[in-house]
Amino acid sequence: MIILGIETSCDDTCAAVVSKEKGKISSVSGESFSQIEIHKKWGGVYPSLAKREHQGKLVTVTEAALKKSNLLQEGKGCLCKKTSQILSHEPLLLKETNKFLSKYKKPEIDAIAVTIGPGLDPCLWVGVNFARVLSCAYNIPLIPVNHIKAHALSYLLEEKHVDFPAVVLIASGGHTELALMRSVTDFELLGETRDDAAGECFDKSARIIGLPYPGGPAIATEATQFSISNTQFSIKLPRPMINTNDYDFSFSGLKTAVLYNFRSQEEKTKKDKQYIIQMAKEVEEAITDVLVKKLKKAADDYNAKTVILGGGVTANKRLREKVNNNIIDKKIIIPSILLSTDNAEMIAAAGIVIGKNVNYEELKADPNLKIYEN
């Protein structure tokens, strides 16, 4: 079985080919285009700009992924009579899609899996509508995929074995959620952020102290330069909700504390390398302390056999180190860095295990999709 995965929920345009043979799910090829350079000057993702970029790049990444898998051959093209209607809000993509469909024969793929949510509404629709057209043109099934579930399931591509029940922490730029997983398809939401996501807190804190977007990797890089002998600023940030008897999070107060601390400093200090390093270290420690404490509590309370991490923030080395040091009686599954951040391989893999397909005419994006839905 060969599945084409498509992901456009935020600022990465991704396509991948994933296969399932003799029960083994593996990536055949994956291509993505990151919009980081485009959004850098805004300090965050600008939805209308992101939509335009997805439209311009989606055919290119899909073509490249299929070519790498030797699935594309020039010849008599395919047609979907509804292409213009389906892509009426994506004129840039319409042009590219028509060119693509008329140039190549139908590739030997069995289905298309696409992210339908959660994510940025205009961005999600680009992927959804493109996948609808391909499903119509190739007359193959279309599988809607929940982006958060896909993060939780990315381990499927690395042949890792999960003993259920598992507790999964998904921490990204848009989400911070803890869920109980009873099987690959049974998810129960235990808690989530009440305001900002962990990644958003990294990004906004970085912006306040003058570090580039995305803030997570920028803060992590500064934090590695921290040395205990150089702590003249004694910065102490709050760990919001760390001891509450639930599985929820709140990160907006932490970001505000960063802002107040920064504003209270003299202009000279604001540019002081040691101040930036110390603040970055403290932001990283505060966010990871809360994530690990709540993850451990959920895993203990629900007698989880396995703990799974997913989402861009879980690429953070300090978080990985703390999870490994603090959760010692459970199996820990952390995807490789490339699979932690947004990618289409995880969408295709999730599509394989979810399997439920829908008619291309009915598929819709859902920016607020919850982990237990779809």
What residues make contact with ligand KG4 under the rule CB under 6 A?
A: 10, 172-174, 199, 202-203, 214-217, 220, 311-313, 315-316, 341-342
- Residue 217 touches which member of ligand KG4, Zn ion, none, C-beta under 5-8 Å by kind: ligand KG4
Query: Rounded distance, CA 137 to CA 132, Å?
Result: 9
Alpha helices in 142-184 (DSSP H): 147-152
The residue type at 31: E
> Is 135 or 341 the residue whose CB approaches ligand KG4 more closely?
341
Query: Rounded distance, CA 120 to CA 10, Å?
Result: 6
- Residue 240 touches which member of Zn ion, ligand KG4, none, C-beta under 5-8 Å by kind: none
Binding residue for Zn ion, selected from 172, 261, 278, 314, defined by CB under 5 A: 172
Neighbours of 23 (CB within 10 A): 5
**What's 45's DSSP letter?**
-
Q: Smallest gap, in angstroms, from Cβ of residue 171 to ligand KG4?
A: 8
> Is 173 or 191 the residue whose CB approaches Zn ion more closely?
173
Stretch of residues binding Zn ion (CB under 5 A), selected from 42-50, 169-177, 246-254, 359-367: 169-177
Q: Smallest gap, in angstroms, from Cβ of residue 211 to ligand KG4?
A: 10
- Residue 214 touches which member of Zn ion, ligand KG4, none, C-beta under 5-8 Å by kind: ligand KG4
Q: Which residue is nearest to Zn ion (CB)?
A: 172
Q: Smallest gap, in angstroms, from Cβ of residue 340 to Zn ion?
A: 9
Which residues are within 8 A (CB) of 354 and not within 5 positions of it... i.e. 6 or more apart? Answer: 113, 143, 145, 149, 185, 374
Alpha helices in the chain (DSSP H): 36-39, 47-68, 83-86, 91-103, 121-138, 147-152, 198-208, 215-223, 252-263, 267-270, 273-301, 317-326, 337-340, 345-354
Find, among 300, 200, 302, 318, the residue nearest to 251 by Cα: 200
> Is 317 or 356 the residue whose CB approaches ligand KG4 more closely?
317
Stretch of residues binding Zn ion (CB under 5 A), selected from 84-92, 128-136, 170-178, 255-263: 170-178
The residue type at 67: K
> Is 313 or 334 the residue whose CB approaches ligand KG4 more closely?
313
Write out the residues near Zn ion by the rule CB under 5 A: 172, 342
